[in-house]
């Protein structure tokens, strides 16, 4: 029996309360959703922070600090990843601010999108110089990159950065399918990207919108991890008649995993798999390599 990594994505940058009452916006709501998720079973959480008044995404580390410290009061082992997205803010100072957190607020992982890409209405700009600068800061801080990949070319770029010694194995990939301008939730696209992963990779698979459930189901059947949550989809059904909660999604993942005889990878197991510090006050990679 192979355990399935479950990366929980509770919030993201887009869903608002006028679209779904279930999306957590305030730090207290995000913390509460993570607590409920831990009771159902997750391995890691991928965090975005929001302004609790406007609901807008924020980059300031203080917002993330409140959320991370709140989570670690009840889940000191949970693997925590933070966003460094370039979708709204594209200066190094803003995107890297969260990487300066320390102590119990230090994240274990941080997202690193490996190329620029277009979404439906916006672009995420990730110039090579920005990607390398963020990778270098993560290496200096002992924070493992969560390598966000939307098409196979980004995996090729990851191999290039591995040659430049900006990443250390094991490599943690989030493969995301179904974005309008990138790889689709097609078994051939998925197979090519999995086949192209460098040796020493651990991967979770996620899908945007209607792609979320088929991608998650295929990932579980293949023995890969899943990325799931309201960040990527707010609907339970393809017809968009039933709004989902994060707990709904996680219970469905648990049911699918149980049906094929797979268990959920515990945070402790994921820490060992990614060579992370053990938690309980020790976060990030076990032995950071700062030779750049």
**Partner residues linked to 143 by β-bridges:** none
The maximal CA–CA distance of the chain, rounded, in angstroms, is 52
Partner residues linked to 80 by β-bridges: 45
Q: What string of DSSP letters covers 219-277?
A: HHHHT-EEEESTTT--BSSTTS-SBPPHHHHHHHHHHHHHHTT-PBPPHHHHHHHHTB-
Ordered DSSP codes for 175-234: EEE--TTS--S-HHHHHHHHHHSPTTEEEEEEESGGGHHHHHHHHHHHT-EEEESTTT--
Q: What confidence score (pLDDT) does residue 87 get? A: 81
**pLDDT over 70 percentage in the chain:** 98
Tell me the pLDDT band of 288, cut-offs 50, 70 and 90: low
Q: Could you tell me if 201 and 173 are in contact, meaning their C-beta atoms sit under 8 angstroms apart?
A: yes
pLDDT digits (tens, 9 = 90+) for 59-104: 999 999 999 999 999 999 999 999 998 788 889 999 999 999 999 9
How confident is the model over 153-174, as pLDDT tens digits?
999 999 999 999 999 999 999 9
Could you tell me which CATH number the domain at 6-274 has?
3.20.20.70
Q: How far is CA 291 from the centre of its chain?
A: 26
């Amino acid at each position: 029996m192979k355990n399935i990594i479950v990366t929980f994505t509770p919030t993201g940058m887009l869903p608002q309360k006028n679209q779904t009452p279930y999306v957590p916006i305030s730090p207290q709501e995000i913390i509460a959703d993570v607590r409920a998720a831990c009771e159902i079973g997750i391995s890691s959480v991928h965090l975005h922070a929001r302004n609790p008044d406007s609901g807008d995404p924020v980059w300031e580390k203080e917002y993330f600090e409140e959320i991370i410290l709140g989570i670690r009061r009840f889940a000191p082992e949970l693997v925590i990843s933070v966003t460094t997205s370039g979708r709204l803010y594209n200066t190094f100072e803003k995107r890297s601010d969260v990487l300066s957190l320390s102590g119990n607020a230090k994240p274990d992982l941080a997202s690193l999108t490996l190329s620029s890409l277009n979404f439906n209405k916006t672009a995420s700009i990730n110039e090579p110089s920005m990607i390398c600068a963020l990778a270098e800061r993560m290496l200096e801080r002992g924070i493992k990159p969560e390598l966000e990949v939307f098409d196979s070319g980004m995996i090729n770029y990851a191999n290039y950065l591995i040659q430049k010694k900006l990443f250390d194995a094991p490599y943690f990939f989030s493969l995301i399918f179904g974005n309008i301008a990138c790889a689709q939730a097609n078994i051939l696209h998925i197979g090519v990207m999995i086949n192209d992963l460098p040796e020493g990779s651990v991967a979770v698979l996620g899908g945007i919108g209607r792609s979320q459930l088929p991608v998650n189901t295929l990932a579980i059947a293949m023995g890969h991890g899943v990325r799931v949550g309201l960040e990527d989809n707010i609907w339970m059904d393809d017809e968009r008649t039933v709004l989902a909660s994060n707990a709904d999604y996680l219970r469905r993942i648990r049911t699918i995993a149980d049906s094929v005889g797979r268990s959920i990878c515990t945070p402790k197991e994921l820490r060992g798999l990614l060579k992370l510090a053990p938690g309980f006050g020790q976060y990030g990679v076990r032995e950071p390599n700062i030779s750049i």
